[in-house]
């Protein structure tokens, strides 16, 4: 187990270094920091000074190590566009996106998992077929269409929920949360539901396929031959065999939402990372894009690490494949 954990962590660090290097190459090769930082009437001396200060006269590897060192000290550079520290920009946007991601994950688990189990256990029931039909819509409709539809129904027609913003936010000092106020919860429902549509549909289909497959296996038949109750067979003996792919997929989806909920955030004017990313691309704000890239890598790697560390708790065979 310790070996397993150690090897996973080492892998994570290596991948993060590779991502950082690619991001660094982006900063080093695209755009001209001198043009962005110097005024138009700067002298040659000022220019040389800045080059020395930024270390642009150093070889590539030295600059990369410098870049890594700065990051480890919490210095992520400055945005070309706003001149603000990149760290501040991201920290400001992060809570909105993380909260959105977790609420949509919650919806996915609460709605998708029971529905998926139902469809897997009763694949031919009328209700099961109905769920599958609806889930086809969830898979095929693009996010922005779902978002606009939800706004049209719940905001415009029924006037129940707000169509944009985060509602009232409480500042905890290190984190601005919308989850402590009623208006915050009302505001998060529509975007979170939009984001979870695809995931709910996906998880239903995945659980159904997995359960139907496990249901055919010899060990389930043997469990039946021993007279175990159907409830025990499905909810313990079968489900446990389907958990690995399900938590893998939930983890990836969580990362996906934190990193790339650009479209949904745009539809709902959600002040999160997605809109920051969009603005940075439009403004060719390379330092922000680079740090954002590394951050996204970090999010995926950490989630993946947590998921992989959960594997052996569910299926001990993972450890055997390791050794």
Partner 1 sequence: MINATAPLLDVRDLTVTINRDGGLVTALDKVSFFVNPGEVLGIVGESGAGKSITGAAIIDLLVPPLKRTGGTITLAGERLDQLSPKAMRGVRGGRIGFVFQDPMTSLNPVITIGQQLCDTIQTHLKLSGSQTKKRALGWLDRVGLPNPDVQFKRFPHQLSGGMRQRVVIALALCADPVLVIADEPTTALDVSVQAHILELLRDLHRESNVSMMLITHDLGVIAKMADRVAVLYAGRVAEISPVGELFNAPKHPYTRGLIRATPMPSATGEMRLDQIPGAMPGLGAVPPGCAFNPRCFRAEGDCRATIPPLHHEESSAFSCFHPLERVTA
Nearest to partner 1 of 129, 219 (CB atom): 219
Nearest to partner 1 of 124, 157 (CB atom): 124
Q: Which of 58, 52, 66 is nearest to 20 (CA)?
A: 66
Does 240 participate in binding partner 1 (rule CB under 8 A)? yes
Q: Which listed residue (76, 237, 292, 295) binds partner 1 by CB under 8 A? A: 237
Taking CB under 8 A as the binding criterion, the range among 24-32, 110-118, 189-197, 225-233 that sits at the site for partner 1 is 225-233
Does 320 participate in binding partner 1 (rule CB under 8 A)? yes
Q: Which listed residue (127, 224, 269, 322) binds partner 1 by CB under 8 A? A: 224
Does 3 participate in binding partner 1 (rule CB under 8 A)? no
Taking CB under 8 A as the binding criterion, the range among 109-117, 133-141, 153-161, 312-320 that sits at the site for partner 1 is 312-320
The footprint of partner 1 on this chain (CB under 8 A) covers a number of residues equal to 23
How many other C-beta atoms can be found within 10 angstroms of the C-beta atom of residue 184?
A: 19
Each residue 264-303 as x (binds partner 1 by CB under 8 A) or -, in order, gives ----------------------------------------
Residues ≥6 apart with Cβ < 8 Å to 5:
309
Distance CA 186, CA 150 (A): 13
Does 53 participate in binding partner 1 (rule CB under 8 A)? no
Does 223 participate in binding partner 1 (rule CB under 8 A)? yes
DSSP code of residue 85? B
> Which single residue is written with the structure tokens 């209700």?
127
> DSSP string of 1-23?
-HHHHHHHHHHHHHHHHHHHHHH
Does 229 participate in binding partner 1 (rule CB under 8 A)? yes
Structure token pair of residue 271: 């002040």
Distance CA 70, CA 211 (A): 49
Which residues, 192 to 221, sit near partner 1 by CB under 8 A? 217-221
Cβ atoms 30, 312 nearer than 8 A: no
Distance CA 104, CA 95 (A): 14
Q: Which of 295, 296, 291, 266 is nearest to 279 (CA)?
A: 266
Does 1 participate in binding partner 1 (rule CB under 8 A)? no
Q: In angstroms, what is the minimal distance from the CB of 213 to partner 1? A: 13
Taking CB under 8 A as the binding criterion, the range among 63-71, 233-241, 256-264, 271-279 that sits at the site for partner 1 is 233-241
Distance CA 192, CA 264 (A): 9
Residues ≥6 apart with Cβ < 8 Å to 262:
274, 275, 277, 278
Nearest to partner 1 of 129, 232 (CB atom): 232
Binding site for partner 1 (CB under 8 A): 217-229, 232, 236-237, 240-241, 314-317, 320
């Amino acid at each position: 187990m310790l070996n397993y954990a150690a090897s996973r962590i080492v892998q994570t660090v290596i991948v993060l270094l590779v991502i950082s290097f690619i991001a660094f190459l982006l900063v080093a090769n695209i755009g001209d920091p001198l043009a962005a930082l110097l005024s138009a009437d700067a002298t040659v001396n000022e220019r040389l000074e800045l080059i020395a200060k930024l270390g642009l006269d150093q070889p590539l590897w030295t600059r990369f190590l410098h870049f890594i060192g700065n990051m480890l000290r919490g210095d992520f550079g400055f945005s070309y566009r706003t001149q603000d520290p990149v760290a501040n920009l991201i920290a400001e946007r992060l809570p909105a996106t993380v909260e959105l991601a977790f609420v949509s994950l919650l919806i996915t688990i609460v709605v998708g998992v029971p529905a998926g189990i139902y469809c897997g256990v009763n694949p031919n029931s009328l209700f099961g077929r109905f769920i599958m039909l609806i889930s086809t819509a969830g898979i095929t409709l693009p996010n922005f269409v779902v978002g606009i539809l939800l706004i049209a129904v719940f905001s415009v027609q029924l006037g129940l929920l707000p169509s944009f913003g985060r509602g009232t936010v409480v500042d905890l000092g290190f984190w601005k949360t919308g989850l402590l106020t009623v208006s915050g919860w009302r505001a998060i429902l529509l975007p979170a539901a939009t984001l979870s549509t695809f995931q709910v549909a996906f998880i239903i289909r995945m659980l159904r396929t997995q359960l139907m497959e496990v249901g055919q296996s010899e060990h389930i038949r043997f469990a039946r031959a021993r007279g175990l109750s159907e409830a025990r067979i499905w909810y313990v003996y079968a489900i446990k065999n389907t958990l690995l792919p399900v938590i893998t997929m939930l983890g990836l989806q969580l990362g996906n939402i934190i990193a790339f909920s650009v479209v949904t955030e745009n539809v709902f004017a959600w002040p999160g990372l997605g809109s920051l990313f969009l603005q940075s691309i439009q403004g060719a704000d390379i330092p922000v894009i680079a740090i954002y890239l590394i951050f996204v890598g970090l999010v995926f790697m950490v989630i993946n690490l947590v998921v992989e560390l959960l594997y052996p708790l569910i299926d001990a065979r993972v450890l055997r494949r390791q050794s």
